[in-house]
Amino acid sequence: MPKLSPESAARESQVVRAATERLGLAGAMAFLNADVGLGARPLKLAAASDEGARQVLELIAVQEPGEAG
């Protein structure tokens, strides 16, 4: 498995933190690894680009607290 660049790792960390704060640990893990309509799993999308991370963060922000996606 290829190692993430520091930038990719930072974006992943940012979305994991935001999802955990909003959805709780179990909800965050379910959300970040699910098909939530973005064309890729949220974690993969966030790691791929700043734009992907932005999209994921916007979707996290509109989730109901505790919601798993």
Q: pLDDT tens across 20-54, in order?
A: 999 999 999 999 989 888 889 999 999 999 999 99
Rounded CA-CA distance 14/41 in Å is 15
What is the Cβ-side half-sphere exposure of residue 67, based on CA atoms within 13 angstroms? 9
44: tokens are 């993969």
Given pLDDT bands bounded at 50, 70 and 90, which one contains residue 1? low
Residue 69 confidence (pLDDT) above 80: no
Decide if 5 contacts 47 (C-beta within 8 A): no
Residue 19 confidence (pLDDT) above 80: yes
pLDDT for residue 67: 55
Given pLDDT bands bounded at 50, 70 and 90, which one contains residue 11? very high
Per this entry, what is the length of the chain?
A: 69
Decide if 12 contacts 43 (C-beta within 8 A): yes
Q: Which amino acid is at 34?
A: A
